[in-house]
Structure 1
Amino acid sequence: MEPVEERLAKAMEALESTRAAVADAEQKLRSAAVTVMSKDRSVEITVGPQGEVTALRFHDGKYRAMAPAQLSAVIMQTLGQARSRMAQQVLDTYRPISESVPQLTDVPGVEIDWEGLFGSMVTEGERGPGKPAGGRLRDEIVEDQDTA
């Protein structure tokens, strides 16, 4: 068994390496952008690393002939795809870092829950935002308990 000082030194070295990798990933993602063109090529949307819309372009005047509900649907679906691709890029950037860190199985709360962070965003873009995988509308109503 190695001395505590050596284990501590290795742990500190791993921590510094992880900090440097996270800082590098954050720097790369600051300037990240994903651009998606709608299937009908009428709309193009660019999102930044937090899913924020940084550009919205309409092409060829096709949007002028669309009904408002149709244009809205095209925009929402394209936005969902762009956000989905950006979420995947963020996951692809951070996952190797999280996998390289030794797992601390006896310490609760140190594991990264990617599904909890991104939910269904990674797969949502292909369906469109707010559309569940099963195709059925799912609403959740949560009522506050009367504490009086």
Structure 2
Amino acid sequence: MTAADEVPPGHPRLAFDRAKLAELVADSERRMAVIADAQRRVSELSVSVRSRDRSLTVGLGAGGALTELTFHTGAYRDMAPAELSRLLLDTIAAARGVYAAEVADAMAPVREGAVLPFEDIMAGKFDISEFLRGSSS
């Protein structure tokens, strides 16, 4: 015999509002559609960023993977190694920033009305045990 079996018929613990349940199911289905759309948008995401001096384009594809390094001039041949390194690192960082902003934009509808704190999760500051105890970080 389970604890549910010990509850007498008609007890408030067994009563539920069918309309509320239907609303929760519909809301869950809507949220799943929003999540699926966000996942699709992120999986198709690609960005292309040109360096400040316009000599280099960096492209990032799905998952932020580096997909393009295009030198538009031969100026890189005359750069000191440290200068070329700085050009590459700065332009890749700029592309990653654009990519992150695009991901955040794609995920915005998922975050709207979400119970879990998306930004804290992404920053690694979310403690699920604290959340489950009733106090979120």
Aligned residues: 109
> Are 2:18 and 1:5 equivalent residues in the alignment?
yes
**Superimposed CA distance per residue, residues 107-136 of structure 1 (whole angstroms, 9 cap, x where no aligned partner):** xxx321x255168xxxxxxxxxxxxxxxxx
Aligned AA (1:117): M
- From 91, 102, 122, give the equivalent of 1:117: 122
User: Which of 111, 114, 128 is 1:98 aligned to?
Assistant: 111
Asked if the contact 1:49/1:90 (under 8 Å) is kept, the reply is no
Asked whether the 8 Å contact 2:60–2:66 carries over to 1, the reply is: yes
Secondary structure of 1:50's match? helix
TM-score (norm: length of structure 2): 0.72
Unaligned runs of 5+ in 2: 1-15, 125-137
Deviation at 1:28, TM superposition (A): 1.8
Radius of gyration: which is bigger? 2
Tell me which of the two structures has the higher relative contact order, counting C-alpha pairs closer than 8 angstroms and 6 or more residues apart: 1
- What is the RMSD of the two structures over their aligned residues, measured on CA atoms? 1.8
Identity in percent: 34
Query: For residues 101 and 60 of structure 2, what CA distance do their matches in structure 1 show?
Result: 13
Instruction: Detail structure 1 runs of 4+ shifted over 6 Å in the superposition.
Output: none
1:29 alignment counterpart: 42
- Which of 67, 73, 83 aligns to 2:86? It is 73
Instruction: State the distance in 1 between where 2:62 and 2:113 align.
Output: 23
Question: Structure 1 length as normaliser, TM-score?
Answer: 0.67
Task: Give structure 1 stretches of 5+ with no counterpart.
Answer: 104-109, 120-148
